[in-house]
């Protein structure tokens, strides 16, 4: 199946288009803890100052497993950029052909 008739959202950098894929549902990052821990994993909470920023989330190894952390963040995105990203989000991934 060709993607020629499917719209795409992304950004242009040095004359090249880079597609951004946004899921319709939000993602929750939780600790990946070892089975020996007798508690539920805590989730990554985002402070209010990070609202409307692009963030790079990864996992940091700890003695009891892995904890999600924000490694890098951008400046706040304009409201119309956030609206566009959410409006053109996708329900599932599509093939890249």
Q: What is the pLDDT of residue 11?
A: 87
pLDDT tens series, the chain, 97 aa: 445 567 788 888 899 998 888 888 888 888 888 887 788 888 888 889 999 999 999 998 888 788 899 999 999 999 999 999 888 887 765 554 4
Is pTM beyond 0.95? Reply is: no
Give the pLDDT confidence score for residue 64 in this predicted structure. 79
Task: Tell me how far apart the alpha carbons of residues 63 and 31 are, in angstroms, rounded to a whole number.
Answer: 12
> Other CB atoms closer than 10 Å to residue 31's CB: what's the count?
20
Q: Tell me, what's the pLDDT at 4? A: 59
- Helix, strand or coil for residue 16? strand
């Amino acid at each position: 199946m060709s993607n020629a008739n499917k719209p795409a959202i992304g950004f242009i950098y040095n004359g090249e288009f880079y597609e951004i894929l946004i899921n319709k549902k939000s993602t929750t990052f939780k600790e990946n803890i070892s089975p020996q821990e007798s508690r539920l994993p805590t989730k990554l909470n985002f402070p209010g100052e990070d609202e409307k920023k692009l963030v790079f989330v990864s996992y940091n190894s700890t003695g009891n497993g892995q904890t999600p952390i924000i490694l890098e963040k951008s400046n706040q995105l304009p409201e119309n950029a956030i609206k566009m990203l959410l409006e053109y989000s996708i329900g599932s991934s599509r093939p890249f052909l």
